[in-house]
Amino acid sequence: MTTTAETAGMTTSRLSTSPFGRALCAMITPFTASGALDLDGAQQLAHRLVAQGCDGLVLSGTTGESPTTTDAEKAALVAAVREAVGERASIVAGVGTFDTRHTVELALAAEKAGADGLLLVSPYYSRPPQDALEAHFREVADACGLPVMLYDIPVRTGTRIEADTLVRLAEHPRIVAVKDCSYDFLAAQKVLARTELAYYAGCDEHNLALYAVGGAGYVSTVANVVPSRLRAVLDAFDAGDTRAAARLQQRATPLVEAVMASGLPGTVTVKALLTGLGLPAGPVRAPLRPAGREAVETLRAVYEEFVTA
């Protein structure tokens, strides 16, 4: 049986090793019906997410449609969300591109706009070898004063950030975290054991599992829709009720599957759900396309079953 003192100690330890908070949302980027950036909508969404348990927001990531937003839009989004949430939540800005020079420019712009940290994805398409990948990350981290979260998602970039590379990069004073979408749970545990990097689950089905072995929390796409429900999983675990944490994670599994494994990108499914809830979302930008009617009906049914359970 975990004592109150032990639970308090675990919570304090978690906070000290979670540089951007525990419950982070990979926030969508809302657009108007005409496809323009909807900053008012972004502020409304950010306020809702923080009010319902998110202590960090990741902007301009995969879910935020970063490949189709301009540099100016990315900076404006950071500034608007900063204004909306103040100091109530951390803001991590996605600045990764396939061009080191461009990535540095975006990092400096995000810092100026008010971000608390940077999300750096592996350069995609060019598929640099590990030494070049390491040099890329170091150059960006050296150029900017913000802490960095590396984003390992080889299914999209074509390049894995290998465990040994992560161990070396952990020596950099501003490289402090990893968003793990590698689906390599063993490698994640190896890096956790050898470094002080804060590991965030980037795949919602791993939120509890990674947390249980020392992860810092999650960067969740599904949190756009049910932020408080996902936060409850971590809260139950920190309170020492691991059975409740497991039960809450299991209950979320059908929604996680519907949003993230339905054959549609998470951006598409989340925007469909948010639109149905009357929240700012708007269309996706090409080449993405909106969810079809049948997909929307399925998503809505799964969502309704989850929230009424």
Angstrom distances, CA of residue 174 to CA of 100, 119, 146, 230: 17, 12, 7, 28
Q: To the nearest whole number, what is the mean pLDDT of the chain? A: 94
Torsion-angle region of residue 211: left (phi > 0), alpha (psi -120 to 50) or beta?
alpha
Please report the pLDDT score of residue 17 as a whole number.
Answer: 67
* Higher pLDDT pick, 15 / 73: 73
Is 151 labeled as catalytic in the residue annotation?
yes
Instruction: Give the number of domains in the chain.
Output: 1
Q: Confirm whether 286 is domain-assigned.
A: no
Average pLDDT over residues 66-83: 98
- The one catalytic residue in 112, 124, 125, 151 is 151
Please report the pLDDT score of residue 242 as a whole number.
Answer: 98
CA dist., res. 169 & res. 142, Å (int): 12
- Domain range for 123 is 4-241
Among 183, 215, 214, 302, smallest CA distance to 253 is for: 302
Q: Confirm whether 229 is domain-assigned.
A: yes
pLDDT at 9 over 50: no
Residue 12 pLDDT level (bands cut at 50, 70, 90):
very low
Alpha helices in 123-162 (DSSP H): 130-143, 154-157
Q: Confirm whether 198 is domain-assigned.
A: yes
Is 112 labeled as catalytic in the residue annotation?
no
Q: Confirm whether 222 is domain-assigned.
A: yes
Average pLDDT over residues 55-69: 97
Q: What is the CATH number of the domain that holds 235?
A: 3.20.20.70
pLDDT at 183 over 80: yes
> Taken in order 186, 122, 89, 67, is the CA torsion positive or negative?
negative
* Higher pLDDT pick, 46 / 15: 46
Inter-residue contact 121 to 82 (CB < 8 Å): no
pLDDT at 6 over 90: no
Q: Confirm whether 140 is domain-assigned.
A: yes
Average pLDDT over residues 21-27: 98
Strand residue runs (E) in the chain: 23-26, 56-59, 90-94, 117-121, 148-152, 175-180, 198-201, 217-220
Q: Tell how far CA 36 is from the center of its chain.
A: 23
For 189-232, the pLDDT digits (tens) are 999 999 999 999 999 999 999 999 999 999 999 999 999 999 99
Q: Confirm whether 256 is domain-assigned.
A: no
Q: Confirm whether 225 is domain-assigned.
A: yes
- The one catalytic residue in 179, 200, 218, 303 is 179
Q: Confirm whether 296 is domain-assigned.
A: no
Inter-residue contact 210 to 188 (CB < 8 Å): yes
CA dist., res. 160 & res. 16, Å (int): 28
